[in-house]
Amino acid sequence: MECFLHALIQVFTWINGVPQYICFDNLAAVASIGKGQDRKLTATFRRFMLHYRFEAAFCNAGKGNEKGNVENKVGYSHRNWLLPYPEVTSYEQLTAELYRRAIADMQRSHYEKGRPIAALWEEDQKALLPLPAVPFEPVQLATARINKYGQFHCRDEVYALPSAPVGERVSIKLWWDRAEVFSHNNEYLAVFPRHYTLKTQPIDWQGYFSIFVRKPRGARHATMYRFLPQEVKDYLEGCEPQGYRRRLELIYSFLQEGFCLDLIARALADTPPGKGDDAGFIRHQLYRLAQPETGLPALNEIYTPASVRGYNPATDVYDQLLPHTRVPGGDASGHGPGVLAGTM
């Protein structure tokens, strides 16, 4: 349902309006089908209709011929916009590319009316309802509890949130592509991509290191330990056992200061063996990497006259200010291979 409504909202945004009457198939919007046009709609879709103020009608069950024109358009779109397959790396890129191809296709003439589709659409736009000031949020709300592993379960999906206290109940807003997590007092905690989007799941390293610091003996056996950068592993394991917890605490403090783990790994790689426990030295490395030095821009002031700005003084003229004396081995002017004799 979330994905279905998200697509509709995108269409409304692109056309800058809402059709007054929309015919739907019996899909996610329908909870059950009665006789004729009798439909029991989902609560989310009912709120969606009220928000955008349109009327909805539905095809009869098993009557694909009622929307034959739509099915033909699906085939046309597949043949003309999806073959050959667009080269994209995300759903967002695919959506943008299909939209571009659809807009370009509007320059052809309508098969029946003989006029450009773009001109016909310009006339239809006049009948659209205006968009509401606030867009609808197509989300499902859920709650979950943080387990002892720093995880919570929602809709058969498991998410890791080790920074949240064990046992805390969190609220989740489920969008089609992400899950936003809030604390029991509605403070924003994190956002995760939904698993089926195949996007990389973020790792809350600050949360995991808070657990490592509390239980240093079990840190090496934690599931997430093997995902640490190799430089961090080498740093933690390159000391005496009694220094292991101290180094865990040091990395945890850097994470709390806002440095990402990849940057910490680079700083540790540049740290000499004898400086491994020098927090000040490693912090200096972090600031150096986070804010690399850049050359100062050229001074572009316009107040100094050009004759002065380009003046290159000849220093030998200052010799005339000194009373010259003849020195042994010197020439007639008093200059020689030794020291110039004279006083101011």
Q: What is the pLDDT of residues 126-158, one digit of tens each?
A: 999 999 999 999 999 999 999 988 889 998 889
Quick one: average pLDDT of 86-114? 89
What the block records as the tokens of 164 is 């949240």
What the block records as the tokens of 90 is 């995300």
Distance of alpha carbon 196 from alpha carbon 177, whole angstroms: 8
Q: Do residue 84 and residue 54 come from a single domain? A: yes
Number of domains present in the structure of the chain = 3
Range of the domain at 153: 140-200
Q: Do residue 18 and residue 108 come from a single domain? A: yes
- Whether 162 contacts 181, CB under 8 Å: no
- Inter-CA distances, 337 with 268, 326, 327, Å: 56, 11, 9
Domain boundary residue among 71, 92, 127? 127
- Whether 64 contacts 71, CB under 8 Å: yes
8-state DSSP, 224: G
Neighbouring residues of 263: CB distance < 8 A, sequence distance ≥ 6: 286, 289, 290
Q: Do residue 32 and residue 121 come from a single domain? A: yes
Q: Do residue 32 and residue 117 come from a single domain? A: yes
What is the reported pLDDT for 143? Answer: 95
Which of the given ranges, 25-39, 41-55, 190-204, 323-337, has the highest pLDDT on average?
41-55
- Whether the full predicted model's pTM is greater than 0.85, yes or no, is no
Say how far residue 38 (Cα) sits from the centre of its chain. Answer: 44
φ, ψ dihedrals at 31, nearest 5°: -85, -40
Quick one: average pLDDT of 272-294? 86
Output b/e per residue, 142-177; b: 16+ Cβ within 10 A.
eebebeeebebebeeeebbbbbbeeeeebbbbbbbe
Say whether pLDDT at 118 is over 90: yes
